[in-house]
Structure 1
Amino acid sequence: MPAVLDLWNKTTALPGGKRLFSIAFAQKAPYFATIRPRFVEIRPNRAALVIPKRRGVHNHLGTVHAIALCNGLEAAMGALAEATIPAGKRWIPKGMDVSYTAKATSDITCIAETDPEQWESDDPDLHVRVRGERADGEVVITGVIKLWVTPKPPRA
C-alpha cells in the first residue's frame, strides 16, 4: 500500500486523525500549508480536501483567490497520485489547465479523480480531472492536471 494511503488509513482511525494527516501532508510540501487543507477523502483514483474560506486566502473581492484554488487542486491531485500509482512507477506534474466558473464565496472542496486504467497505460501522459466546489455544490473551478508517469529507474 502506498505510504500516503497507509498514513491516511492509520491516522483517520484516530480521533482528530483527518486533521493530523492534513497537518503532516502540508509539512511534507510546506507551500500547501498556506491554504490550510483539510483532507476529507483519500483512496485510489480519488482525493478530496477543503480549503477554508479565510482572510489569508482572499483576493481583492473577498473570495478565495484563484491561486489558492489551484494550490488546493494540486494538493488533492498529489494525494490521489501517491495513493494510486502502481509500484514501479513515478509521477511528476507537468501542467495544469483550469477554468474559473464561479465566485469562490465559501469553503471550497477540491476534488481530484482518475480512472484505474489510466495508471496501467504505457502512455506516460496522464490527465487528472480536478474541480473545486462551493458549499452549495456550485463548481467554481474545473480543469485537468497533466502528469508524466514513467517507470522508476532500477536501483543501483
Structure 2
Amino acid sequence: MSKGNQLTQLLRTVRRLPESWRPKALSFIMGKVIPFAGTAGTRVEKLEPQECIIVLRNRRKVRNHIGSVHAAAMALLAESATGFMTALSVPDDRIIVIRKMELEYLKRASGDMKAVASFSDEQVEYVRNTDKGDIEVPVTITDATGTETVKATMVWAWTPKKR
C-alpha cells in the first residue's frame, strides 16, 4: 500500500490491532467520520482500496413498516461502501462528494444486509492520479439469504480543495 492519504494511514494503524478487533475499530472510526453511518450501526467488515464490505443488521432503528431494512438505510449502505473505498484513493489535497445515486430495489429483503463495492487496480490508479474527476462505482447489496435485493451505482467526484 502506498503512503496514501490520512484515511490510508488510519487504516494502517487499525491493521496493527488483533484481527477480531478490526471491524469494530473501523466501524467506530467511520461512524465518527460519517455520523449517520454510525447512528445507523453500519459495520465495516473490510476496507481496502479495491474492495469495501459493510454490513447493516436488521434492527428496529433501521426497519421500515414491513419489518425489513428501510430503503434509505440500504442507500446509506451503498453510499458508505462506495464512498469509504473511493476515499482511500483520493489524495488529501482533494475533496470527495457524491454526485449521483442510482438504486433499483429488486425484491423484499430478509434479515441483515451486506454491501460489497469493488475497484480494479486501474480504477484505483485513476482516482489517485486524476486531479479533478468522477467515477461510477457499482455496489452489490444482498440480504441474509445471499439474494441480491438492490442493484446500485454511485458516482463519486473529487476536486482540488480551495486554498
Tell whether the structures are fold-level matches, with TM greater than 0.5: yes
Inter-CA distance 153–20: structure 2 relative to 1 (3 Å threshold): closer
Q: Give the number of aligned pairs.
A: 154
1:64 corresponding residue in structure 2: 69
Q: TM-score, normalised by structure 2?
A: 0.82
1:132 aligns with 2:135: no
Unaligned runs of 5+ in 2: none
- In structure 2, C-alpha distance between the alignment counterparts of 1:35 and 1:88, rounded to whole Å: 29
Aligned equivalent of 1:120, options 126, 138, 154: 126
Q: Conserved in 2, the CA contact under 8 Å of 1:44 and 1:84?
A: yes
| 1:100 matched residue in structure 2 | 105
Q: Is 1:19 the counterpart of 2:24 in the alignment? A: yes
Q: Structure 1: 5+ residue runs without aligned partners?
A: none
Helix, strand or coil at the partner of 2:68: coil
What residue number does 2:157 align with? 148
Equivalents in 1 of 2:12, 2:92: separation in Å? 19
Using the size of structure 1 for normalisation, the TM-score is 0.86
Cα pair 2:44 2:53 within 8 Å, conserved: yes
Instruction: State which drifts further: 98-107 or 108-117.
Output: 108-117
Hey, what's the Cα distance between the residues in 2 that align with 1:73 and 1:110?
Answer: 6
**CA shift digits 1:36-59 (9 cap, x unpaired):** 011111111311110011111110
The one-letter code of the counterpart of 1:144 is T
Q: Alignment partner of 1:137: what SS? A: coil
The alignment's C-alpha RMSD in Å is 2.2
Distance (whole Å) between structure 2 residues aligned to residue 53 and residue 13 of structure 1: 30
